[in-house]
Amino acid sequence: MHRAGRKIREWREAQSPPLSAEEFGARFGMPEPWPSRTVYGWETKGKIPRPAVQKRLAELGICDPPDWLEDQDGTHEPPAKVDVHSMKTSEFPFHSIHRHGFVRVATSTPRVRTADVAFNTAAVLEQARTAHDSHVDLVVYPELCVSSYALDDLHLQSALLDAVEDALGEIAAATAAITPVLLVGAPLRRNGRVYNCALAVAGGRILGAVPKSFLPNYREYYEKRWFADGRRIQGQEIAIGGAKVPFGTDLLFAASNLTGFIFHMEICEDFWAPIPPSTYGALAGATILTNLSASNVTIGKSDERHLLARAQSSRAAAAYVYSASGHGESTTDLAWDGQGMTYELGDLLAESERFGLNPELCIADVDIDRILGDRMRMQTFNDAAEFAGRPEDRFRTISFEHRPVSSDIGLIRPVRRFPFVPNRLHKLHEDCYEAFNIQVDGLMRRIEATHAKSLVIGISGGLDSTHALIVAARTCDRMGLPRSFIRGYTMPGFGTSEGTKSNAWKLMEAVGITGQEIDIKPAANRMLQDIGHAFADGHPVYDTTFENVQAGLRTDYLFRLAGQHGGFVLGTGDLSELALGWCTYGVGDQMSHYGVNSGVPKTLIQYLIRWAERTNQFDPATDAVLEAILDTEISPELVPGGAEGKVQSTEETVGPYELNDFFLHHIIRFGQRPSKVAFMAWHAWRDAGAGLWPAEFPEMKKNEYDLATIRFWLEKFLQRFFGFSQFKRSAMPNGPKVSSGGALSPRGDWRAPSDAVADVWLKELRDNVPGG
């Protein structure tokens, strides 16, 4: 590496305060600012500038021309070609959002004054500096924000167009000293035409300009009077302030050092087209689709924008960032509400205040990993790209170096503590009804197909059998069958408590099914004696064999009873237990004729039981039992209680189900790295007083967990899920998928080898999450 690079770095770091590469280039670059990538090229890549720059640096007393030829040690060997980039994603610390594939975006509603280019430019830069202070990576401004939108024939005035071009040079120069990429709107001239353009500006330069494809020319719109459309412009350049800039509708912009940070720009009406340009941008590889919009407001138009943004983000498997013009635009004939919003895969992350009088940044952290993970799983996306002629082959990708801060800047996005639980307050009843009735409908069809004369179910007084029973009861109601069609059996063993046994009987009686009790202890004692187990000789040995003898006997009884009564065994095991392997294989609760709960995780079962109680799906007597069961410790009750009456606790062994379900969702739905799952869980669970909880969630059950606890239980989850429990899932009975978060059937969402190991996931966790 040459001596000049070392001298430049030492010189700027010795200033008071030290100068960043951006500040150094902006302050001393002549005749134009030196972008940060250029400065870093001199300092770390051994690049040599043109003679005029060498002379400028010598005049400043920083380094002399011979320094460019000498190695740092004073030798004259030619510098080695070293490919050194700025900090890559994997080099960010754990608490940085960029380490985990997030990009911070913002919509901007700046101040605006009609045709006042200087005022509008100052407003754009004011918001840009605020975005920089908020550690934003990408800012999307409204359409034609530099000139203002509602100008009519003023768009064709040379004085205004000259002022816009000068303003763009000012904005570009200002970006040398700030982090965000700015997407601004401006009218530009080329070959005797004026184009309505979106420009990407970063690092002291204009990265590229995209012309609007579809010009509205109906009702209140008259854009074809002033602008030429850019639908067919590809592979071109445009002159802005004397510099040549990539120009066309074939542009994508990609950060060279942040994997997946690739964005596309379209403008207002493009959004309303039957095939928006952003569709091709997404198929070409863009993960963030942006829209610089003016879009005057009328009654109901906000709903329409939401509809389009939500649909496009979902259909294109992307984030969609939309920014509309606000107060200050001309109201000669129209009005403006300044709506900004960010959607990701159909989920609304953030929305700005509408009709606000003050400038606003609406900030959200977009999960690029989640987007790419969804695309990998959805082969339709790849098929569509191929069918469209592989847009990635004809798009130009403009690369830029992005330098976000590497410190902990928080996480600005909703992270659901309970990702399997419905969270749309305005549709809460509808979502719970839908989840419940998916199970009901699946069970109805199985009864019809088998011509069953009964349903046989083991009733323990715990959550899973309770939920399976109320689903079965509602199924009978729907089919016009008496609830006595259900044959419930409570089978107390060595660890069964009086409380759960009592709840089991109360539930069977309240629901009105055929109930019976079978004490399995005599049969269990005989089996333990036959196999020579120490417990049969009076020793308190409560090992897995001791537990599985009881679980196996219960299932054996149920299968024989089903045969005796012409029915089938209704499985009660849930999705969470299948994920953890917390079930007895083959002869135990892993096996049934139909696993009605197999697509429902524990947290959703708890919530659906609460919903059934709160919405009076059953009578008051049933509701009272449901409430008592919800308050009972989750336990297999296979081991006798301790001296103080303490019952066996499932969650003390496998971890809190609320954490396990969080882990499960992010790992099976999007294939997230364990370190990222830990990062998101930490943000979701570290403070019980922050964020949103499901509606009517009990205050006393609002828990919080520190990072060390999350890491501990995540490691246990990975060991159980990847390390040894797949063979149980590979042989699981039929059962309906309930949540889009996923299921574990080998015939559906999850197909995996039974003899894989967990080493890769455990190593990733241990290497990348502090606290081990």
115: left (phi over 0), alpha (psi -120 to 50) or beta: left
- Amino acid 496 reads T
Selecting among 268, 362, 476, 583, the annotated active-site residue is: 268
Which residues, 6+ apart, have CB-to-CB distance to 731 below 8 Å?
585, 586, 590
Q: For Cα atoms 171, 124, 350, give the angle at the middle one, nearest 5 degrees.
A: 125
Selecting among 212, 602, 676, 728, the annotated active-site residue is: 212
Neighbours of 703 (CB within 10 A): 11
User: What is the separation of C-alpha 201 from the centre of its chain, rounded to a whole number of angstroms?
Assistant: 27
- Mapped to the 3 state alphabet, what secondary structure does 362-410 carry? EEEEEEHHHHHHHHHHCHHHHHHHHHCCCHHHCCEEEEECCCCCCCCCC
Name the residue with tokens 């138009």: 301
- Amino acid 670 reads F
Distance CA 581, CA 727 (A): 9
φ, ψ for residue 489, nearest 5 deg:
-130, 125
SS3 329: strand
Neighbours of 366 (CB within 10 A): 31
- Amino acid 742 reads G
Residue whose C-alpha is closest to residue 115's, from 79, 84, 65, 149: 149
Which residues, 6+ apart, have CB-to-CB distance to 235 below 8 Å?
248, 250, 396
Contact 584, 548 (CB under 8 A): yes
Distance CA 140, CA 754 (A): 48
Token pair recorded at residue 546: 């001791």
Q: What is the CA radius of gyration of the chain?
A: 32
Handedness of CA 405, 407, 409, 414 (dihedral sign): positive
Pairing of strands 138-140, 181-190: parallel
| Interaxial angle between packed helices 463-479 and 620-630, expressed in degrees from 0 to 180 and rounded to the nearest 10 | 150
Neighbours of 48 (CB within 10 A): 16
- Is 212 known to be catalytic? yes
SS3 457: strand
Contact 402, 202 (CB under 8 A): yes
- Is 301 known to be catalytic? no
Which residues, 6+ apart, have CB-to-CB distance to 718 below 8 Å?
674, 758, 761, 762, 765
- Is 268 known to be catalytic? yes
H helices present in 14-142, as ranges? 21-28, 36-44, 51-59, 117-133
Token pair recorded at residue 251: 């542009």
SS3 47: coil
Q: What is the dihedral of CA 205, 211, 216, 217, to 10 degrees?
A: 110
Distance CA 341, CA 241 (A): 32
Selecting among 22, 43, 143, 547, the annotated active-site residue is: 143
Q: What share of the chain is helix, strand, coil (3-state, %, to 5)?
A: 45, 15, 40
User: What is the separation of C-alpha 723 from the centre of its chain, rounded to a whole number of angstroms?
Assistant: 26
Residues annotated as catalytic are: 143, 212, 268
